[in-house]
Chains A and B, each alone.
Chain A
Amino acid sequence: MAVTLDQTIAQKQHSFLSRLFSSQTFWVVIAVILACLFLSFATDSFATSKNLFNITRNVTFVAIVALGMTFVIITGGIDLSVGSVLCLCSMVLAVTMHAGYSIEIGILATIVTALAIGAFNGVLIAYLGFPPFVVTLGMLSVARSLAMVASNNTVVFQFGPDHQKLLALGGGAWVFGIANPVLYMIILALITGFVLRWTKFGRHIFAIGGNEHAATLTGVPVKQIKVAVYMISALSAGLAGIIQTGWLGAVTTNLGNGMELQVIAATVIGGADLAGGVGTAFGAIVGAALIEVIRNSLGLLGINAFWQGTFIGGAIILAVLFDRIRNFRRSD
């Protein structure tokens, strides 16, 4: 026998390159780079530090929420409530701080709110068997309405004694002039990537998305994990809400309106499969970047802003189309 056991164990199905080329995320990265190169030459205003700063910062809010959404989508679920949860969390922070409490208490209240909403979604889905689509659609409505109740539908722009601290948290650039939100995004992406790849929890998330019945039979705590992923998703929306509040310096009740679609789009463009079982942290970031570059370029190229939805929708369909083509080829 020519093959030893060690060789069999080390045998990989694909080389590094073939895996790279067959990954959707890789091609989206190429698309982002090409788009950036093209825009740098085609317009004067793209490659300016101000515009790049704008883009990187705009990417972060969608990207951070997309990181949380990645967990949910890998289990085969969906969370439509993230935009409204972001709004409610921002509002909780704003109202708490406006009432004179410190930033620490404000953030604590926000995180507790986010986790409670996530737990509510998760328990209904995991223990009572509600379809995720329905539960989170309901929460989409509830959370935004609660945000209106909390603020009496006003704009909050005074954050009490810790006003400056909050603005610095979201708007500052503490390390090497990189906007703070970008730093948070990088840190959260690293944590997400680590959890998905190196922890038992991450492994079980993939297992649930691959075959939930099998995961149950093999003793994976499916229900608890499902509750956890919806809590993570809501938490990521809450964190994005805190950061965005600090960045904008004001909270309105239409904050994060329609954001769920951008977030889901970013996750899917980055290679996650809505059927579950597939997804990466890096993909979520890259997907968010592609959406933002498309949005930004339309403005710079002088294309009517009404076209935005068409281009972003087109990007989603195109990304999934490539995936389908690869699957057809594989099944041949």
Chain B
Amino acid sequence: MDRAVREEMDGRDASDAGEPANCCVDKWGGLRLVSVLELANISKHFGAIQAVNDVSFSLEAGEVVGLMGDNGAGKSTLVKMIAGNFHPSHGTMHLEGKELVLHKPADARQHGIEIVHQDLALCNNLTAAANVYLGRELRRGFGPFRILDYGAMYKRAGQLFAELKSETRPRDLVKQMSGGQRQAVAIARTMLSQAKIVLMDEPTAAISVRQVAEVLNLIRHLRDQGIAVVLISHRMPDVFDVADRVIVMRRGRKVADKKIASSSPEEVTGLITGAIEQVA
């Protein structure tokens, strides 16, 4: 069924692909009463190790949330639960008011939760378009006689790169691309379907300064489309540059959840290291 949706999407113009991805207008009569994602008392333990401990927070549409914390603070585990890689030991998740139970990453994708992996999960030997469509290739033909629709995939991938204001070309091999272009390919993937939430794991960790600006622009672009973005990052300047809100985790617990405007890098650093115990 989702193939039909995708193919329908593919037929659309670039111009109308920019509408908010998570429109809940019909259901709630124009009012967005519920958060896109609501986590309640989520915990995860691996044997005796308590990786995530009683974490609750909510995500609004069109919001960028920076998720910060030291190594081992539980950021990745938390995100992996939202992406369907892990199943929470305790607690519940709600997507647009409905309970969300994920058994595998594909389930998350079906619900409009996309993840950009830290290593980007790209195949160097394939073209940009092939990578964007990896695992959900477009095909044409009838029944069992269906062949890859190269034209449509090049076209749509090209439109996505143009939307992202990236200089990436759909027919280029990923092998020969810069870090920023590779990020654009990984991010374009999340725009194929009607994503509601995009989780980004350290998208600026391994690229040059100029490319960081490029990636932050890509994130703003997702936000402008009404997508909720969770940005896991170690880089304070990036989070303060692009995020609306920052959540800090330390040793599995949420120790802060506040507007960027009412926080400061010093405070966040204190929270990460434990110099500041917790803020409301």
Contacts and interface: CB of A to CB of B under 8 A. Distances in A.
Interface of A: 5, 8-13, 197-200, 203-204, 206-207, 209-211, 213-215, 217-220, 277-278
B179 interface: no
Interface of B: 14, 105-106, 109, 117, 119-126, 130, 134-137, 139, 146-148, 154-155, 157-159, 161-162, 169-173, 176, 189
B125 A217 contact: no
Contacts of B159: 5
A8 B105 CA distance: 33
B148 A13 contact: no
A200 B153 CA distance: 13
Nearest to A275: B125
A264 B159 CA distance: 41
10 contacts: A5-B14, A198-B148, A200-B146, A204-B135, A210-B123, A214-B121, A214-B123, A215-B134, A277-B124, A278-B125
Nearest to A198: B147
Given A200-B148, A219-B136, A8 B162 contact: yes
Contact of B121 (A10, A203, A204, A218): A218
B106 A219 contact: yes
Contacts of B139: 200
Nearest to A221: B135
A9 B172 contact: no
A219 B189 CA distance: 12
A141 to B, nearest CB: 33
Given A5-B158, A8-B169, A11-B171, A207 B126 contact: yes
A197 B147 CA distance: 9
Give the 3 A-B residue pairs with the shortest CB-CB distance, closest first. A210-B123, A9-B158, A277-B125
A196 B148 CA distance: 11
A249 to B, nearest CB: 38
Best-buried of B139, B154, B158 by chain A (most CB within 10 Å): B158
Given A203-B137, A206-B123, A217 B117 contact: yes
Contacts of B125: 206, 209-210, 277-278
B170 to A, nearest CB: 6
Contacts of B124: 210-211, 277
A214 B155 CA distance: 23
A217 B121 contact: yes
Nearest to B127: A13
Nearest to A217: B121
A143 to B, nearest CB: 32
